């Protein structure tokens, strides 16, 4: 499996607290069947993002891994990119500062409550700037839980969605679990990831979530979400052809949005 969202770097956000914990997280991921991990520290108003510093921390983790773990695991770097004005403007100038392995895919995080009325414009600007946004854990966003039709619309227009493994299993509450499964059944999800922060509560594991998806939606779906699609992101390749989304947006627009127009070209 390939995990494109993990707060693995130590001492820089609310994830790992030490080099030892980071090494243990990589080992736990390996034992769960994960072979590739993207370290994705926050990039927001609280936690500044310095790619050179983060590369150094990631290299420290690589060098501290036991030989068997180092041989089995491939680590990459991205970030959990908060959609605010300063970040978006900086990303337009420094197009690969925040993306996964300095390629085209960018994990984006919305505020927990509320969504900017400029969201379509922001997504459009990222796209024409050469980045492919992946919206992280939308099932946990209070506003989107109340208006899931917006997610269906965004996916229909080309936005990619990443659901947290814990949400599939109910770790983040019934509402997040319900929306996660609704999106999965609609073929609106492109990736499952751990969003791991530690070794106890938000762990770097996803095999149980993968098994649950395989049991309910089939092994092909589970493999696509946990292996094939995230590997394409890790390597910076286009995603393979995806199944058609089953549901239509609840409130179709009278005219195409900026976001839709860029994907219609």
How far, in Å, are 35, 75, 229, 252 from residue 237 at the CA level?
Answer: 18, 17, 9, 31
Beta strands in the chain (DSSP E): 2-6, 36-39, 42-43, 74-77, 80-82, 105-109, 132-136, 160-164, 191-193
- Tell me how far apart the alpha carbons of residues 259 and 181 are, in angstroms, rounded to a whole number: 25
233: pLDDT strictly greater than 50: yes
Write the DSSP assignment of 141-152 as a string of letters. -HHHHH-HHHHH
Share of the chain above pLDDT 90, in %: 79
247: pLDDT strictly greater than 80: no
- Tell me how far apart the alpha carbons of residues 16 and 158 are, in angstroms, rounded to a whole number: 33
250: pLDDT strictly greater than 80: no
What would the pLDDT profile of 163-178 be if each residue is shown by its tens digit? Answer: 999 999 999 999 999 9
Kindly report the number of other CB atoms within 10 A of residue 199's CB atom: 15
Closest CA to 78 of 48, 113, 116, 40: 40
> Architecture of 2-263 per CATH?
Alpha-Beta Barrel (3.20)
- Tell me how far apart the alpha carbons of residues 180 and 49 are, in angstroms, rounded to a whole number: 29
């Amino acid at each position: 499996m390939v995990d494109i969202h993990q707060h693995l770097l130590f001492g820089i956000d609310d994830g790992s607290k030490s080099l030892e914990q980071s090494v243990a997280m990589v080992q736990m991921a390996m034992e769960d069947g994960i072979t590739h991990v993207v370290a994705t520290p926050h990039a927001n108003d609280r936690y500044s993002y310095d790619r050179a510093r983060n590369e150094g921390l990631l290299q420290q983790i690589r060098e501290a891994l036991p030989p068997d773990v180092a041989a089995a695991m491939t680590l990459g770097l991205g970030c959990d990119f908060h959609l605010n004005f300063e970040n978006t403007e900086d990303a337009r100038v420094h197009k690969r500062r925040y993306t996964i392995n300095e390629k085209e895919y960018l994990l984006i995080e919305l505020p927990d409550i509320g969504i900017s009325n400029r969201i379509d414009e922001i997504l459009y600007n990222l796209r024409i700037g050469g980045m492919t946004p992946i919206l992280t854990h939308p099932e946990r966003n209070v506003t989107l839980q109340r208006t899931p039709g917006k997610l269906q619309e965004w996916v229909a227009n080309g936005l990619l969605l990443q659901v947290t493994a814990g949400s599939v299993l109910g770790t983040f509450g019934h509402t997040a679990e319900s929306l996660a499964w609704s999106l999965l059944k609609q073929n609106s999800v492109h990736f499952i990831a751990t969003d791991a922060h530690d070794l106890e509560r938000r762990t770097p594991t996803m095999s149980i979530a993968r098994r649950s998806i395989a049991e309910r939606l089939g092994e092909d779906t589970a493999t696509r979400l946990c292996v094939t699609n995230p590997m394409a992101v890790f390597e910076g390749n286009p995603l393979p052809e995806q199944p058609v989304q089953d549901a239509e947006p609840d409130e179709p627009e009278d005219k195409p949005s900026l976001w839709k127009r860029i994907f219609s070209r």
